[in-house]
Amino acid sequence: MSLASSAGEGRTVASIDPILSLTRPDMERVNDLILRMAGSNVELIPEIAEHLISSGGKRLRPMLTLASALAFGYRGDGHVKLAASVEFLHTATLLHDDVVDESDLRRGRRTARMIWGNQASVLVGDYLLGQAFRTMVEVGSMQALAILSNASAVIAEGEVWQLSAAKRLTTTDADYTAVIKAKTAALFAAAAEVGPVVAGAGPEAERAMHEYGLHLGLAFQLVDDVLDYGGSSGSLGKNVGDDFREGKVTLPVILAHAAGDEAERAFWRGAIEEGRNDDEALGTARELLARRGALAATKERARDHGRRAREAVMSIPASPAREALLAVVEFSVDRIT
Amino acid sequence: MSLASSAGEGRTVASIDPILSLTRPDMERVNDLILRMAGSNVELIPEIAEHLISSGGKRLRPMLTLASALAFGYRGDGHVKLAASVEFLHTATLLHDDVVDESDLRRGRRTARMIWGNQASVLVGDYLLGQAFRTMVEVGSMQALAILSNASAVIAEGEVWQLSAAKRLTTTDADYTAVIKAKTAALFAAAAEVGPVVAGAGPEAERAMHEYGLHLGLAFQLVDDVLDYGGSSGSLGKNVGDDFREGKVTLPVILAHAAGDEAERAFWRGAIEEGRNDDEALGTARELLARRGALAATKERARDHGRRAREAVMSIPASPAREALLAVVEFSVDRIT
């Protein structure tokens, strides 16, 4: 029996509370290590790092690494170092992304580049990458290094692809899936896979956790894409329309454009490729997305990846860590109401 | 007997020809590997990489890695992979540097950022970094990974420091030495040190090659600083005045400012901190550098580092590779006439 159908029966909790509780003691060590890794005699580095560290992100990725190691009974401190490295890879990506996207705000706060400039953001991102690799080396697992260095190249490749494809409505569904697999899901997959690696749990466990992370990451990104247009219920949260205003071609847009008539396609071209993306245009975009069922279809795609993530993690031995990892899937998919 | 005194007697050749000959077969493999590492289905990546690869750099750093491995009788392909990784770390740094310095030209050609934009330069730099670490992992030496990941963090830290200190005439001689040690010499040191590491030559050999690379890198950077003002003989080469126009506080400027009278200090403040750096100002700068012996003193400092590099490499067993490494020192220092 798949857990998907049981979610409504209260068997799983659509919440990150279980993983928060499970990883709390180790996350304190991760946070201490992150502060040490961000240390430097060059004042600008801890200043910018502190800005990022205090930004209130959920730190889901390092929690995945911790829970994935705990799921295989790991005792040691390698998972703490790998978790901190994973968070640093992610933070470095955010710093560089904000420069590339010319973003002014992230999670409601001014971005580092708005406060300290693009130059500092590029270089401090490079420093965090270097520190991430340094810390991974300390763990001494060549396999974990292979997984994470691979992820770091794949993420950058995905970002370059997205840059090349930016504002192009010729981007296909398959292209888009490949991009988010690279730029989002690859790090989730690596974060989850290094857990069994450091625990020495063997290739089957590694494969299962890689699959889990990959599909969780895909679900996570697709849900973000839906939320950016206010969710499939049409409720308007914060930051709605960011992707639209940046001309980002996400799956909802690809689906609505593909299913649209000539007038609708002309609208999307104007909005995405020519920058006609004011609030009125955003309203029209949301109407067209609803008319073509594009948000519902994207949400269904996210649910499907959620199912695959659950199936993968169900193949590992039952444990509180497994329950926590399952609940993360529910939480990630159920953010859309 | 130090080779320093024998250079004029024809015992060493102030040329990179010996290292070019020594490493030619392996450099072909490095260049092939670099092309493979720069491959990607995302077209922009090989396009930009090709631009950088064909830019006619000397590729001194990967040659150091190869020669340092050959000096200890290494047979295998680990040194080729490490050499290619070293070059990628360097290339990624150049891509990001050009964004940070807003440079239009490098070696007389338009920079990648001028052709493909800052965004692509940042992201392709990240990709090259990821590929460098991936390739290092393939070699399977945790020690080489520790040395190179450490260098990558130190380089970025040096760059951030330089950014914080930019256009500040309060930068001291010691500050400046620390910056160039981090941003230039650390990679030379790492490139040379991983040779004996992959050859399994032991800690003494590693220390000697680290020292060699570190002092060679310091000499190299100081010579560059002198050449940027036309060399101590006052001859005017290409790109003279680049540092001056960018307001870079290099050792010659630090020394001339420190030794200058009130009027001279006012001139340097205007030039470096307030951007009064036209051709006439450059002429004045060169006069003041000569008056205060700042280029000669910087050149002497470079010579001193050259001596220390030679001393370090003389502690390893005699071989054609050692001769080639010695000749690189002569070449690097004797670029100033």
* DSSP single-letter state for residue A106: E
Write the residue in A126, A142, A159 that is nearest to B140 by C-beta: A142
Smallest CA–CA separation between B140 and chain A, in Å? Answer: 7
Interchain CB distance below 8 Å, A134 and B146: yes
Interchain CB distance below 8 Å, B129 and A150: no
Comparing A109-118, B185-194, B208-217, B278-287, the range with the smallest average pLDDT is A109-118
- The two beta strands, B105-106 and B109-110, are antiparallel
Write the residue in A124, A150, A164 that is nearest to B134 by C-beta: A150
DSSP H or E segment with residue A105? strand A105-106
**Residue listed under structure tokens 């974990």:** A144
Interchain CB distance below 8 Å, A159 and B40: no
Interchain CB distance below 8 Å, A119 and B153: no
Interchain CB distance below 8 Å, B163 and A44: yes
Chain A residues near residue B126 by CB distance under 8 angstroms: 93, 96, 129, 152, 155-156, 159
What is the rounded distance in angstroms from the CA atom of residue B66 to the CA atom of residue B320? 13
Range of the domain at A140: 3-334
Chain A residues near residue B153 by CB distance under 8 angstroms: 127, 130-131, 133-134
Beta-carbon contacts of residue A112 (< 8 Å; ≥ 6 apart): A48, A51, A52, A95, A98, A120, A121, A124
What is the rounded distance in angstroms from the CA atom of residue A288 to the CA atom of residue A25? 47
Rounded percentage of chain A residues whose pLDDT exceeds 70: 93
Rounded percentage of chain A residues whose pLDDT exceeds 90: 75
What is the rounded distance in angstroms from the CA atom of residue B238 to the CA atom of residue B230? 8
Write the residue in A124, A126, A157 that is nearest to B40 by C-beta: A157
A42, A95, A121, A197: best mutation site toward chain B, by most B Cβ within 10 Å? A42
DSSP H or E segment with residue B68? helix B60-70
Find the CATH number of the domain harbouring B37: 1.10.600.10
pTM of the model: 0.92
* Residue A187, both tokens: 């790090």
Interchain CB distance below 8 Å, A153 and B137: no
Residue A167: predicted pLDDT: 81
Comparing A262-276, A315-329, B21-35, B225-239, the range with the smallest average pLDDT is B225-239
For A154-207, write each residue's pLDDT tens digit.
999 999 998 888 788 999 999 999 999 999 999 999 999 999 999 999 999 999
B85, B103, B137: best mutation site toward chain A, by most A Cβ within 10 Å? B137
SS3 for A177-238 is HHHHHHHHHHHHHHHHHHHHHHHCCCHHHHHHHHHHHHHHHHHHHHHHHHHCCCCCCCCCCC
Interchain CB distance below 8 Å, A122 and B96: yes
Please provide the DSSP assignment of A225-285 as one string.
HHHTTT-TT----TTTTHHHHTT---HHHHHHHHH--HHHHHHHIIIIIS---SHHHHHHH
B63 beta partners: none
ipTM for this model: 0.91
Of A128, A118, A103, which is closest to residue A52 (Cα–Cα)?
Answer: A128
Comparing A32-41, A316-325, B150-159, B280-289, the range with the smallest average pLDDT is A32-41
**Total structural domains in chain B?**
1
Chain A residues near residue B124 by CB distance under 8 angstroms: 156, 160
pLDDT value at B236 more than 70: no
Residue B192: predicted pLDDT: 98
Please tell me which residue of chain A has the smallest CA distance to B179.
A42
